[in-house]
Structure 1
Amino acid sequence: MMSGIPMIDLFAGCGGMTQGFVAEGFEPILAVEWDRAAAATYAANHGEEHVVAGDIAQVPTAEIPPARLIVGGPPCQGFSNLGLKDLNDPRNQLWREYLRFVGAARPEVFVVENVDRFSTSPEFQMLLAEADHGALREYELTWAVLNSADYGVAQRRKRTIVIGSRVGRIAMPTPTHMKSPSTGGELLPWRTLRDVISGLPTNPASTELPESTTSFFGESMPGVFKGMDIHFRRQPLEKSRTRYSFVPPGGGRLNVPTELLPDCWAKKPSGTVDVMGRGRWDAPSVTIRTEFFKPEKGQYLHPQWEPAKMQQPDSPWVQGDPERSVNRVITHYEASLIQDFPDDYQWVGTKIQIARQIGNAVPGGLARAIARQVKPYLA
């Protein structure tokens, strides 16, 4: 028996959006994800029986069930050509599939999630045109760029959210948090890295995932892993660790002695300042991307750092105390918590596959806020 509001999750990834909606009383009846490792992670947490691990175009229209809600984040490439006569343009395909599912399932509400710049793209204008006189003409659209930190996520992650409704206009969810709320106000302060990753072992014992395999979709895959299973460290070179030791919270490559930097950075005195950056304990993280485990990709060094008591005379560089600083990138487990996954969420795949799943996911707090906003219209 159905216990929740039936929903479909397209381009479902590892289940970040579904996780948030399930927490608010929705029930997934179909999820489609082409990346088999991500689909397996979804299945490990939400059940395998309703998951299609493959090409969305291969799902027959006759087999698309009716649902009251569809959520999903189709890639934005190609949508600008949606109205052209070349129906076989491969760049259009994934957006066409999203619209095909909306047409077949006839949801009262759909939610599109995409990168922040989507709201200023030609693709977005075509989406508005579809609602004006095309496949989505029954739906009234509202949209905004939302910051996940405003909804209780310890991460500054901006995403374009579009809500389409044929049961009345649905406004965007009201923020529950802000950077510096007034005393006695209704909003809470942004959640911070301290809130979500403090207290974890700073020197994980392992550099690898545990030896484990499980079968999903008739295929053997690494996993299932959860919690401390994915709290493993990397093995950077000693020179790399020395570089990290000079980076204070909020700092980056410009804090590293020039002689320690690769030539490509040493000869670039400005720009890309967050490379090899370190997070701050009392602030949210920057956006968690798919390669958060690489310091050269952004501000992903662990926030724990204290300056050494002694330093070389006349040196402009300040090194961290080796006993009280953590000179490594955040772990997969820490990244998952920053993305607001439950601490017991289950993961399937290799280290790189799991990192990709984490970085591509919709944070749970943002998904829950959207679910709470939509739910009264479907009660």
Structure 2
Amino acid sequence: MDKIRVLVVDDSAFIRKIIKDILSVDKQIQVVDVAKNGKEAIEKLMLNEVDVVTLDVEMPIMNGILTLEKIMKEKPTPVVMLSSLTKSGADLTIQALNLGAVDFITKPSNIFKINDEEIKSLIINKIKTASKVKISRRHYTKREIVKIKKENTNKKSINIGFGQVESIIAIGTSTGGPRALQEVLPNISKNVKAPIVIVQHMPPGFTKSLAERLNNISEVLVKEAEDGEIVKNGVAYIAPGDKHIKFKNEGNKIKIVLDDGQKVSGHKPSVDAMFYSLCEIDLRKIIAVVMTGMGSDGTKGLNKLKQVKQNVISIAEDESTCVVFGMPKSIINLGLADKVFPVNLIGKEINKLMGV
């Protein structure tokens, strides 16, 4: 079996060595070269056969974003970003994911913690997942990104919160999710008479940046979910990193409960945990959407949801648009998907099902 060939790009010689050492432990991975800035990375990418690039977000000479754009234009290759936990680092990471990066690795605030076994295993697994992604068939250009005239929050607030919550739209996604959400949410009408609840596998600090970016291009209001808030029609709530999003009936209203418990199906937030919680909520209709992502999070929860509720319509993202066809494949294979659509048609289908 051919080894996964990796190019490590970081302006810190120390980080380059750490990442190289971590990856070199795995017999399936070979670090073919390293680069200290974006300009050097492009040159080395052209000279080497590379399967995956690890790319620092913030670098001198040519930063990670410009480098990523150049890679996608000149030699499309799966890219995993290395990001700091700062607000600017999170914002740039979300931008990178929208420009075609497959995934990202968070640098711990104490860089020596990067040698923890759990973090090392995570880095290796992300590289292996990225190596299976075919970037060429999803040629990323800025033109693909849905652009909607930015509305300020005051304008949006006129349209939200109308009527009793009788239906809910629940979306679960992982690797490739930020890009997929950017194609789905802007296509959902501001008049949709349902809240939208979203689980995107992400660490703390990044879901807020994701919500802000999606809010800027969507008709519905998009925000990071807060514990105890009452859900409203026309608002999308993204589960914060490292918290499960659950729900509780409170009179004729539905309250968000953020749960800091154990991982469910290997994740926190977990799509399964969200679906399990919806089993207990009184609703006329539930639209459950499972999009791109590794593994099978969402399958067990959707299975239970369909067993206890008669009013669940499930949508899986089609393989043709998935960055990783794992989570949707799992629900399709078990016969749990009522409909299968490419990502660009999912928002329109939601509108149709909701009668808007």
Is this a same-fold pair by TM over 0.5?
no
Q: Considering only CA atoms, is the larger Rg found in Structure 1 or Structure 2?
A: 1
Higher strand share goes to which structure?
A: 2
Greater relative contact order (CA < 8 Å, ≥ 6 in sequence): 1
TM-score under structure 1 normalisation? 0.29
Higher helix share goes to which structure?
A: 2
